[in-house]
Structure 1
Amino acid sequence: MELKNEWIQEDDVYENPLLKITLNGLKYYGILLYKTQPLKKLNCFRGVVFTASMLAFNVTQYIDLYQVWGNIGDMTANAATTLLFTTTIVRIFHFYGNRTRFNNAIKYADEGVQHVLRFGMPAEKAIFWQNVKYMQRLTAVFWICALVTANTMCIYALIQYLSNTVEEPATILRSWYPAENMEKHFLVLYCIQLYIMYVGQLIVPCWHVFMVSLMVYVRTSLMILNHKLAHMDEYVASGMRSGRKPQVVKDPTEESYATRRELIIECIQQQRKVYGYTIELEDLIKGAVFMDFVVFSVLLCALLFEASVTDSMVQIFIDISYILTMTAILFLYYWHANEMQHQANLLSKSTFMSDWYNYPRVVNRHLITLICYCNRPLTMKAFFLPMSLDTFIAILRASYSYFTILKQAAD
């Protein structure tokens, strides 16, 4: 699956109800462009500036981390945002390097959505819109969680400075800057970090919701396929063939068997396409998800430690919100990978729910072929690491174990 250029060719993709919000966010950031977009070079330049800013700031965070190395409190205060920015920057560069493949994945999902909206049965459209509403609620909750966390950090740092409640003004994020008098240069540093925070607030939720939207599309396709297999009689009675307009059934026996055979072949082809798309999606995200597996345990550990040693209730609220946001990122990937596997496992059962015992032998042969295809497990992996709820729980357990060890060392 490859495109001939690195841009989305149709603006209609941005009106896809399943992908609309997140694609518009990525378009505004400047890393996702469509062919007829006005001022395309300017938008691309904005994306380069945003990415370069985050990269430069992340370098200063690592300089600060090196300077405070050995001080557990300062290291944990630095580590959470440093690691989050690092994983985000890696994802952005990965997108730049694989823009054609990502655009191809978007177009494939959009074509599938348009096919359902144009030719799908009412039940198929109901399944689709049910998933659209689910994705909209998920997006709203995740964005609220991320924005509350980030903006509370921004406001809290400014309040501390204005109220003079701390000896040294607290900036939004821990980072090194060539400034000896922190109080004198506070407003400059604050504005720089405020800019970086808002760039991060734009790209982090947009990126994760974007990838989860593609995973939800796979789940939606499998749910529709399960419905089609379990209610094959309804499709035969309506004369539906290969997603096209209803055909008139002339012979109640031979014509209906031909319709069933064509419908089963269509399901086999659709199942193979969904599995192929899932493999492509897995290949695009496995590196980033594996990095999250390694990094997020340390990140959550750092946030837990910071929350345990601070006396400020506002800082505790920020840390808890941060922990919830980071946990939500992990949960979104592992939960939906688990959902995809669950829906794929139901295909054989859905096939058996049809009235196969009334089919002739030639039709049942196709059913057996379909069941054999459906028995192949659909498990997404981050290299050797299976993406499932068990892995998600293992990450949380590891984070708490690291926290207890760190707490004992600090005490």
Structure 2
Amino acid sequence: MIEDVPIISINVKILKFWSFILVHNWRRYISIIPAMIMNVAQFLDMYFTTEPIDSIARNFYFVVLWFIAVMRALYLTANRRKFEVFMENLEYMYHEIKRDGEKPIVNLLNEVTNNARRISKFNLAFAAFVSTGFVLYPLFTGDRALPFGVTIPGVDKYAEPAYGIIYAWQVIITPMGCCMYISFTSIVVGYMMFGTVAAQYLQHRLRKLREPGDTDRMVMMKIVWCVQYHRRLIRYTSQLNDLVTYVSFLEFVTFVATICALLFALNIVTTFQQMFIVSTYIFMRVIQIFTMYWHANELSDQSTKVAIAAYDSPWVDFNVPARKALVFIILVAQKPLSIMVGNIYPMTMQTFQSILNAAYSFFTILSQIYG
């Protein structure tokens, strides 16, 4: 069962509960439809707003956050079968490494699995903490306010009973939005972390091509297995890239805009409470993107080390056909296996740094314009 694979099980179970994958029931609609309606109301609020610039910056952050959450949920449900097939392949490869019984790699897999589970739990716990702040913030403003700015044509959102209904509606759908947003990030990170283990597993096998008592035929069979496994790893990364590349591009564009807006808001707020809240928003966005880019970078880095592992094998003792097969692995491994942002930029730490630089540059321009 896919949901029993420990490295992704937490997020698979959450996404399955809301019927984004594996099942199709009423929960999908009670999570997506209210979130879509609210996001439309948020866009209307941004269009008609007359609030000060700091409130606009804060509301813009929430508009983008909910828009990404809804887009992720819709994308996941529209491509549900592709995700399921991909996870079935991951499940097979995961248990294959377990069955192989190579202690260093099994220990590594267990360690990475534990790390992936810790990341998922941290993301969920932190999202719950921040979401609680979202929904409780209006209670401490001293005025009637809503967690997320919305405009509903013909409705006075601050008059009863509309205010109570809208407030309750936003409180109820916030946990659903967390599941849409956080679980998607965490499960993609789990995919990347397993790809890193698979690359290290291949490296381990390449370094042990000849063991005492192995004949040339046995060595050649091991090399053929390594060639085939490398192809599987390439296919795994390519399929993962197809699943996340356009979602990553949406994150790329919106991250620059939201961080720029939040930095501007941080620059003009006057109270400690406001500074703390805006800083928390910034930290949440940065940590989510950083986690994805870090592990995508690790996958790319480990894939290039396959060539080094092949060269580190005792190839001088091999026959000519075996050496040629090793050269083939080395040549193919020269190109890193990268997760792309919109099939344009590789998802690496260098790209992440460029995003931060772009966000800060736009922030300085915005600060100069508004003094």
TM tier, smaller: over 0.9
The alpha carbon displacement at 1:350 in A equals: 0.8
Asked if 1:20 is matched to 2:9, the reply is yes
Asked if 1:275 is matched to 2:264, the reply is no
Structure 2 residue runs of 5 or longer lacking an equivalent are none
Partners of 2:250 and 2:196 in 1: CA distance: 24
Aligned to 1:212: 189
**Equivalent residue in structure 2 for 1:398, among 323, 341, 358:** 358
The alpha carbon displacement at 1:64 in A equals: 0.1
Q: Is the 8 A contact 2:206 2:309 kept in 1?
A: yes
What is the SS of the residue equivalent to 1:232? coil
The alpha carbon displacement at 1:140 in A equals: 2.7
TM normalised by structure 1 equals 0.85
Q: Is the 8 A contact 1:169 1:182 kept in 2?
A: yes
The residue type paired with residue 138 of structure 2 is: A
Partners of 1:374 and 1:361 in 2: CA distance: 20
Asked if 1:386 is matched to 2:335, the reply is no
Structure 1 residue runs of 5 or longer lacking an equivalent are 1-11, 35-40, 238-251
Q: 1:125 and 1:181, CA in 2 relative to 1: closer, same or farther beyond 3 A?
A: closer
The alpha carbon displacement at 1:183 in A equals: 5.5
Partners of 2:30 and 2:93 in 1: CA distance: 34
TM normalised by structure 2 equals 0.93
The residue type paired with residue 228 of structure 1 is: R
Aligned to 1:308: 267
Asked if 1:89 is matched to 2:70, the reply is yes
What is the correspondence of 1:229-240 to structure 2 with a 5 Å cutoff? 229-233=206-210, 236-237=211-212
Aligned to 1:240: none
Partners of 1:280 and 1:329 in 2: CA distance: 22
**Equivalent residue in structure 1 for 2:160, among 164, 184, 188:** 184
Q: 1:181 and 1:147, CA in 2 relative to 1: closer, same or farther beyond 3 A?
A: closer
Partners of 2:252 and 2:117 in 1: CA distance: 26
What is the SS of the residue equivalent to 2:338? coil
The residue type paired with residue 125 of structure 1 is: V
Aligned to 2:21: 32
The residue type paired with residue 45 of structure 1 is: W
What is the correspondence of 1:39-50 to structure 2 with a 5 Å cutoff? 44-50=25-31
Q: 1:121 and 1:315, CA in 2 relative to 1: closer, same or farther beyond 3 A?
A: same
Partners of 2:132 and 2:346 in 1: CA distance: 34
**Equivalent residue in structure 1 for 2:245, among 286, 289, 292:** 286
Q: Is the 8 A contact 1:25 1:202 kept in 2?
A: yes
The count of corresponding residues between Structure 1 and Structure 2 is: 368
Q: 1:256 and 1:158, CA in 2 relative to 1: closer, same or farther beyond 3 A?
A: farther
Q: Residues 123-151 of structure 1: CA distance to partner in whole angstroms, max 9, x if unpaired?
A: 22112111112212222332233222111
Structural RMSD (CA): 1.9
Q: Which region of structure 1 is more displaced relative to structure 2, 303-312 or 105-114? A: 303-312
Q: Is the 8 A contact 1:145 1:321 kept in 2?
A: no
Partners of 2:369 and 2:127 in 1: CA distance: 31
The alpha carbon displacement at 1:380 in A equals: 2.2
Partners of 1:374 and 1:358 in 2: CA distance: 22
Aligned to 1:154: 135
What is the correspondence of 1:236-385 to structure 2 with a 5 Å cutoff? 236-237=211-212, 252=213, 255-382=214-341, 383-385=343-345
Q: 1:360 and 1:291, CA in 2 relative to 1: closer, same or farther beyond 3 A?
A: same
Q: 1:205 and 1:389, CA in 2 relative to 1: closer, same or farther beyond 3 A?
A: same
What is the SS of the residue equivalent to 1:376? coil
Partners of 1:181 and 1:334 in 2: CA distance: 40
Partners of 2:364 and 2:173 in 1: CA distance: 32
What is the SS of the residue equivalent to 2:197? helix
**Equivalent residue in structure 1 for 2:80, among 65, 75, 99:** 99
Asked if 1:197 is matched to 2:157, the reply is no
**Equivalent residue in structure 2 for 1:134, among 115, 134, 149:** 115
The alpha carbon displacement at 1:264 in A equals: 0.9
Aligned to 1:125: 106
The residue type paired with residue 205 of structure 1 is: I
**Equivalent residue in structure 2 for 1:226, among 203, 207, 210:** 203
Partners of 1:47 and 1:315 in 2: CA distance: 35
Partners of 1:385 and 1:307 in 2: CA distance: 30
Asked if 1:110 is matched to 2:91, the reply is yes
